[in-house]
């Protein structure tokens, strides 16, 4: 596996991310295997083309066009000489990478979610995707491609002003930031990294470097709240809906919970449904138990009819907060006039 310093350095220094295929190949080295399939034509043709030899290194030849439609690359220099060569029209085509496709490749390699919020960002800053460790916890990922540290810092401040929560901020290569920028990164729990340190190439594909796993776990430890009795929550996988949630009562104090394959055995206290003054289950827990006994249906005539409606809204709020799923866990059935659980709710089973 190889680091792609040339590729990332080219992406942050090449003006307008535009060059001929030959220039992309010469500048990116082993990284060309990554960028080659992303290149698309801009509709423009180059006036100069690159040439590489041992004596002059990489240098440029001017394009001279002839009336017969042919073109020749001529090296114009008063002190050095390099033989001219013919250039085909397709060799002059200026190409630019499809940045959305590159961002998807970065997400795939680093285990990020490629969905974006379509934010309006400064020139040279791209919204890569988001880090989505648990349902309701989404942290956007940005990439700044620019050569000057001062411009990188300006972009960092702009993104921080635009987005108030923690986020991940990539540069192509390591940036030596000022104390002011480092203070912002620390105070806002921003994860600032260089792609050249996070990504390697293996068999022509991007893959995560070993350091990435440690970095992202440390970031998650800072920004994802720890469950507490007063604000308990379940590690609901990203994108889970109520249809993939099951709550099965083991006894009057304990349930088995499964959300999209993640399972836990939990007490009413661990689900944040405890009456702390009386050290017993809350009314919401008791109501959930009754609903399970009633096959997932809220019949406002069962139990305490006067309080059932308020308990329904309080229970919905508790369940949304616990699972971090935004929509109502119950749906109203007009034909019966009852609310029905969108999730699977199973009462205590006889052995």
**pLDDT surpassing 70 at residue 306:** no
Asked which of 81, 97, 113 is the last residue of a domain, the reply is 97
What pLDDT, in 10s, does the model give residues 161-191? Answer: 988 889 999 999 999 999 999 999 999 999 9
Show Cβ contacts of residue 180 under 8 Å, excluding neighbours closer than 6 positions.
Answer: 153
CA distance 59 to 311: 76
Q: How confident is the model at residue 305 (pLDDT cuts 50, 70, 90)?
A: very low
**pLDDT surpassing 50 at residue 54:** yes
What pLDDT, in 10s, does the model give residues 64-82? Answer: 999 888 999 999 887 888 9
CA distance 329 to 76: 73
In this structure, the answer to whether residues 46 and 15 fall within a common structural domain is: yes
Does 3 fall in a domain?
Answer: no
Write out the DSSP string of 8-29: HHHHHHSGGG-B-HHHHHHHHG
Which burial class, exposed, middle or buried, applies to 29 when counting CB atoms under 10 A from its CB (0-12, 13-18, 19+)?
Answer: middle
In this structure, the answer to whether residues 128 and 144 fall within a common structural domain is: yes
Does 210 fall in a domain?
Answer: yes
Does 2 fall in a domain?
Answer: no
What pLDDT, in 10s, does the model give residues 98-133? Answer: 999 999 999 999 999 998 888 888 899 999 999 998
Model-wide pTM > 0.95: no
Domain enclosing residue 268, as ranges: 229-346
In this structure, the answer to whether residues 104 and 214 fall within a common structural domain is: yes
Asked which of 41, 72, 97 is the last residue of a domain, the reply is 97
Does 174 fall in a domain?
Answer: yes
In this structure, the answer to whether residues 159 and 238 fall within a common structural domain is: no
Number of domains comprising the chain: 3
The mean predicted confidence, pLDDT, of the chain is: 89
**pLDDT surpassing 70 at residue 319:** yes
Which pLDDT score, from 0 to 100, does residue 278 have? 66
Asked which of 97, 120, 147 is the last residue of a domain, the reply is 97
């Amino acid at each position: 596996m190889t680091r792609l310093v040339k590729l990332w350095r080219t992406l942050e220094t090449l003006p307008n991310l535009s060059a001929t295929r030959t220039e992309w190949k010469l500048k990116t080295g082993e990284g060309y295997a990554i960028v080659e399939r992303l290149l698309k034509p801009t509709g423009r043709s180059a006036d100069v083309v690159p040439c590489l030899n041992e004596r002059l290194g990489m240098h440029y030849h001017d394009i001279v066009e002839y009336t017969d439609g042919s073109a020749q690359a001529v090296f114009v220099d008063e002190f050095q000489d390099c033989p001219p060569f013919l250039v085909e029209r397709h060799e002059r085509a200026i190409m630019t990478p499809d940045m959305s496709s590159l961002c998807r490749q970065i997400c795939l390699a680093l285990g990020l979610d490629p969905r974006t919020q379509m934010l309006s960002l400064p020139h040279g800053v791209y919204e890569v995707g988001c880090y989505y460790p648990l349902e309701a916890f989404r942290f956007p990922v940005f990439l700044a491609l620019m050569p000057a540290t001062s411009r990188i810092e300006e972009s960092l401040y702009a993104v921080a002003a635009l987005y108030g929560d923690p986020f991940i901020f990539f540069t192509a290569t390591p940036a030596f930031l000022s104390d002011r920028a480092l203070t912002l990164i620390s105070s806002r729990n921003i994860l600032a990294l260089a792609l050249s340190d996070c990504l390697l190439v293996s068999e022509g594909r991007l893959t995560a470097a070993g350091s990435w796993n440690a970095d992202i776990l440390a970031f998650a430890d800072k920004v994802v709240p720890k469950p507490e009795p007063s604000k308990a929550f379940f590690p609901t996988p990203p994108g889970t809906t109520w249809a993939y949630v099951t709550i099965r009562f083991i006894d009057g104090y304990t349930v088995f919970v499964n959300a999209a394959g993640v399972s836990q055995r939990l007490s009413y206290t661990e689900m944040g449904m405890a009456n702390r003054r009386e050290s017993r289950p809350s009314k919401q827990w008791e109501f959930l138990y009754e609903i399970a006994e009633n096959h997932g249906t809220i019949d406002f005539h069962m139990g305490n009819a006067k309080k059932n409606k308020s308990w329904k809204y309080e229970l919905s709020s508790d369940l949304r907060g616990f699972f971090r799923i935004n929509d109502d866990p119950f749906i109203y059935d007009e034909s019966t006039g009852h609310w029905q659980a969108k999730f699977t709710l199973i009462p205590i089973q006889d052995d």
